[in-house]
C-alpha cells in the first residue's frame, strides 16, 4: 500500500526509470499510441536452457523498452546512456476538455438575453429622458404662451381703460365747452 501511494506521488520513479534504462540498448525510438504505459520493464520469464535448444533471450516488448511516449506533436526523444529517461508529456497525452455545447449554447442564450434586456432598459431610459425633455419644453412653451396672452390681455385692458378715460375726458371737456358756450350766449 505504501509503495503504491509513494509510486503514485512520484517517489522512487527515478530509480525505477534508471533500472529500466540500464538493460536497454540504443535503438530507434518506437512510437506507441497507448497513453498509460507504465515505466516498468516487462517481467522476464525464467526459461531453462538445455543443450539441444538454442538459447533464446526473452524479448522485452517495445512499449516497455522506452517509457517515453511520442505522438505527432512531439519529436522523438534521444536515448541517453548517461542518466535516467525523462518522461515527456505531449499535448495529446493531456486529458481532453469535454465541451458541453448545450451549456455553451445556454450560456450564449442567457448572455444574449441579458444583453437584450440591458439594451431594452437603455432604450427605455433614453425614451423616458426624451419624453421628459419634450414635456419640459412643452411646459416652457405653454408658460410662455400663457404669459404672452396675459401680457396682451393686460395691455388691451390698459389700452381700453386709457381710451375710455380719454373719451370720458374729451366728452367732459366737450360738455364743459358746450355749457360754457351756452352760458356765454345766454348772457
**DSSP state letters, 102-137:** HHHHHHHHHHHHHHHHHHHHHHHHHHHHHHHHHHHH
Look at residue 159 in the predicted model and tell me its pLDDT.
96
Mean pLDDT in residue range 80-102: 61
Structural domain boundaries in the chain: 1-20+63-97
Look at residue 8 in the predicted model and tell me its pLDDT.
62
Residue 20 CB-density burial (10 A; 0-12 exposed, 13-18 middle, 19+ buried): buried
Nearest to 64 by CA among 34, 20, 26, 29: 20
pLDDT in tens, 31-77: 555 545 455 555 555 555 555 555 555 555 555 555 545 555 555 55
This prediction's pTM? 0.33
CB 88 within 8 A of CB 74: yes
Percent of the chain topping pLDDT 90: 38
Look at residue 106 in the predicted model and tell me its pLDDT.
84
Amino acid at each position: 500500500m505504501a509503495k503504491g501511494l509513494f509510486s503514485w506521488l512520484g517517489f522512487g520513479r527515478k530509480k525505477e526509470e534508471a533500472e529500466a534504462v540500464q538493460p536497454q540498448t540504443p535503438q530507434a525510438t518506437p512510437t506507441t499510441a497507448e497513453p498509460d504505459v507504465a515505466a516498468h520493464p516487462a517481467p522476464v520469464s525464467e526459461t531453462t536452457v538445455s543443450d539441444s535448444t538454442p538459447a533464446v533471450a526473452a524479448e522485452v516488448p517495445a512499449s516497455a523498452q522506452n517509457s517515453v511516449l511520442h505522438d505527432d506533436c512531439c519529436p522523438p526523444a534521444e536515448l541517453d546512456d548517461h542518466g535516467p529517461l525523462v518522461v515527456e508529456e505531449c499535448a495529446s497525452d493531456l486529458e481532453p476538455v469535454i465541451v458541453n455545447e448545450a451549456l455553451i449554447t445556454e450560456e450564449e442564450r442567457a448572455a444574449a438575453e441579458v444583453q437584450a434586456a440591458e439594451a431594452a432598459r437603455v432604450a427605455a431610459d433614453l425614451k423616458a429622458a426624451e419624453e421628459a425633455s419634450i414635456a419640459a419644453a412643452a411646459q416652457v412653451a405653454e408658460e410662455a404662451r400663457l404669459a404672452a396672452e396675459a401680457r396682451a390681455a393686460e395691455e388691451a385692458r390698459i389700452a381700453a381703460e386709457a381710451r375710455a378715460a380719454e373719451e370720458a375726458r374729451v366728452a367732459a371737456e366737450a360738455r364743459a365747452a358746450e355749457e360754457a358756450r351756452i352760458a356765454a350766449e345766454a348772457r
